[in-house]
Amino acid sequence: MCGTTDTLSPSWRSRTEGEIAKLRAEAAAYDAADSARKARTREAQRFVGAPPACLAQAVVLGLPSLDEARRKWGKWAEARDIDTATALADHLENHVLEFADAVGAVIDDATAEAKRREDAWRPIALKIAEWLPKARAALRANERIAELKAAETWWKEASAAIRDERFSPVAERAIAIWKQLRLQSNVDPGGVVLEGTAGRRRVALQVTVDGTARTLS
């Protein structure tokens, strides 16, 4: 080539093919290393998330370490936008300890706050737990009140009917005797009934005197 003789010799071909194979092996090794780097980068970034919504929601709790934790978490999350493996490793190494400390402080504060609330709530919870079985029993019993009232009304009406039925012969006999004994009295007997409640029962005489109804007991 270019006026040079014996250049494309068998030995040149052998050296060239060897060099090509070497370069191809190096290129394959580079591609494999680059693929591994990208995979490891993605794997590392998969564990780097944005600050969770619960941190924003927890503002109402007034935890003293919360604001600092949100700032540290935001700084830590910047790793998701770093493409260079070296820069990503440096970022993670430089911020992991302060990030962990900030999150740990929030955990400690949240634990203390939870204990404070539990101490305030526990006595109430114990009282509620003691009251609930009685409340449930009362609700179940309340369902029977209507039935009990209906049964009580029936019993009173039935008792009154039985009482009147048993007293009817006595009342009729009393009226008959009265009519025999009244002679020319202006008192006209109307009926004899029982009044009052059990234990305080009394006999009442219903009469008409000169056209005016009265009850004598």
pLDDT at position 164 is: 72
Question: What's the number of domains the chain is made of?
Answer: 2
**Do 96 and 175 belong together in one domain?**
no
In a domain, 45, yes or no: yes
- In single-letter form, the type of residue at position 80 comes to R
Burial of residue 31 (number of CB atoms within 10 Å: 0-12, 13-18, 19+): exposed
Q: Minimal CA–CA distance to 45: which of 82, 73, 99?
A: 82
Tell me the average pLDDT across 48-63.
81
pLDDT at position 141 is: 82
% of residues, the chain, pLDDT over 70: 75
pLDDT at position 7 is: 65
- Angle at the Cα of 97 from the Cα atoms of 94 and 103, rounded to 5 degrees: 130
**Do 206 and 113 belong together in one domain?**
no
In a domain, 171, yes or no: yes
Q: Which domain holds residue 92?
A: 10-119
**Do 112 and 67 belong together in one domain?**
yes
In a domain, 57, yes or no: yes
**pLDDT by residue (tens digit) across 92-148?**
899 989 999 999 999 999 999 889 888 998 999 999 999 999 998 888 888 788 888
Residue 88 has pLDDT above 80, yes or no: yes
**Do 23 and 91 belong together in one domain?**
yes
Domain-ending residue, one of 92, 119, 146: 119
pLDDT at position 44 is: 81
Q: What distance in Å separates the CA atoms of residue 116 and residue 120, rounded to the nearest whole number?
A: 6
Q: Minimal CA–CA distance to 104: which of 70, 69, 56, 54?
A: 69
**Do 14 and 76 belong together in one domain?**
yes
In a domain, 88, yes or no: yes
**Do 90 and 165 belong together in one domain?**
no
**Do 79 and 160 belong together in one domain?**
no
pLDDT at position 173 is: 74
The DSSP result for 143-211, as a single string, is HHHHHHHHHHHHHHHHHHHHHHHHHHHHHHHHHHHHHHH-TT-SEEEEEEEEES-TTS-EEEEEEEETT
Q: What is the CA radius of gyration of the chain?
A: 52
Residue 4 has pLDDT above 70, yes or no: no
Q: 50: pLDDT confidence band, cut at 50, 70 and 90?
A: confident
**Do 38 and 115 belong together in one domain?**
yes
**Do 166 and 98 belong together in one domain?**
no
pLDDT at position 35 is: 85
pLDDT averaged over the chain?
79
Q: What distance in Å separates the CA atoms of residue 196 and residue 174, rounded to the nearest whole number?
A: 19
In a domain, 5, yes or no: no
Domain-ending residue, one of 95, 119, 143: 119
Tell me the average pLDDT across 67-92.
89
Q: What is the pTM of this model?
A: 0.46
**Do 19 and 102 belong together in one domain?**
yes
167 neighbors 185 (Cβ within 8 angstroms): no
Ramachandran area for residue 199 (φ above 0: left; ψ -120 to 50: alpha; else beta): left
**pLDDT by residue (tens digit) across 139-188?**
888 878 888 888 888 888 888 778 777 777 766 776 676 666 665 555 55
Q: What distance in Å separates the CA atoms of residue 99 and residue 70, rounded to the nearest whole number?
A: 10
**Do 115 and 163 belong together in one domain?**
no
Domain-ending residue, one of 93, 119, 145: 119
**Do 101 and 49 belong together in one domain?**
yes
Handedness of CA 110, 111, 114, 120 (dihedral sign): negative
